[in-house]
Amino acid sequence: MKSLKPRLLTAVIGIPILLIVLFVSELWHPFVGIVIGAFSAFMTGEYLHARKMLYKFHLSIPCMLFTFLLSVLVTTKYLYVLIFAFILTVFAVMIFKHEKTNYADVAYSVFGTFLISFGMSAVPIACASSVSITFCYICIFALPWMADAGGFFIGASFGKHKLCPKISPKKTVEGAIGGILFCDLTAVIIGLVFKFLVMPDANINFWALILLGVIDAPVSILGDLSFSLIKRNYGIKDYGSIFPGHGGMLDRFDSIIFTAPVLVAINQFIPFITVG
């Protein structure tokens, strides 16, 4: 298991940072939107860098600024205005910089910007709509990462049938099943911890958590494969190198971009946690 060491190193670096963000967010709720916005802007920069567009500042600056502001303003009345302003800015850039900008560049940058910002902005939405920021925060980050861990360990031990060999040769069907099991087990454990230790007076919907685990794992794989396909198309190994031996921030958060909206969608119809 050659990639186990960088995974553990990433966890050692990343988990304390996320816990600090969580602690401050509990004291001042807007902080989660600011931090997620900063993460999202950084990931957008990595995405643009994959096509050597990061230094085309007439496109990269509006895209990264929009990604940051969306997470900050997504729960406010300024959301629609922000989206409209971004669209106008992009077309203004395309018109006034038409000699240096083609539609393919604009389409690539705008699509990636909306994808990253839409997925990551689900984090502040979930935290704002739940009775417990900590509960949603832990679910959003722990479930897809545990699905990845389950896929890694089960796939490495028992994997025989390739899932999508041309995009990600190491992923196996057995690993995907292991990811679902790890994800579901983690969801139930989180529910039990909150039920008996953190919020004993709250009502935890374990059926909703099981449903979340079942959906989160395959959606996590879809997110990982989607961004891997983009990397393969542009002949790059990783989006960045911020995590030693394990790629950039987008390489670590690609699954969360897809899974965070799943939590928001399920929680909207079947709340995971209620009080009273």
Sort 131 into a burial class: Cβ within 10 Å, 0-12 / 13-18 / 19+.
middle
Q: Structure pTM? A: 0.88
Those residues with Cβ within 8 angstroms of residue 216's Cβ, 6 or more apart along the chain or in another chain: 143, 144, 147, 183, 187, 259, 262, 263
- Per-residue CA distances from 92 to 59, 62, 88, 115, 255 (Å): 10, 11, 6, 21, 32
Amino acid at 138: I
Q: Do residues 93 and 62 touch, judged by C-beta distance below 8 A? A: yes
Cα(250)–Cα(29) distance, integer angstroms = 24
pLDDT of the residue at 2: 47
pLDDT of the residue at 170: 83
Which residue matches tokens 């790890």? 182
pLDDT of the residue at 1: 44
pLDDT in single tens digits along all 276 residues of the chain:
445 555 555 666 667 777 787 778 777 788 899 999 999 999 999 999 888 888 899 999 999 999 999 999 999 999 999 999 999 999 999 898 888 888 888 999 999 999 999 999 999 999 887 778 889 889 999 999 899 888 888 888 887 888 888 888 888 899 999 999 999 999 999 999 999 998 888 899 999 999 999 999 999 999 999 988 888 888 777 777 676 556 788 888 889 999 999 999 999 999 999 886
pLDDT of the residue at 139: 93
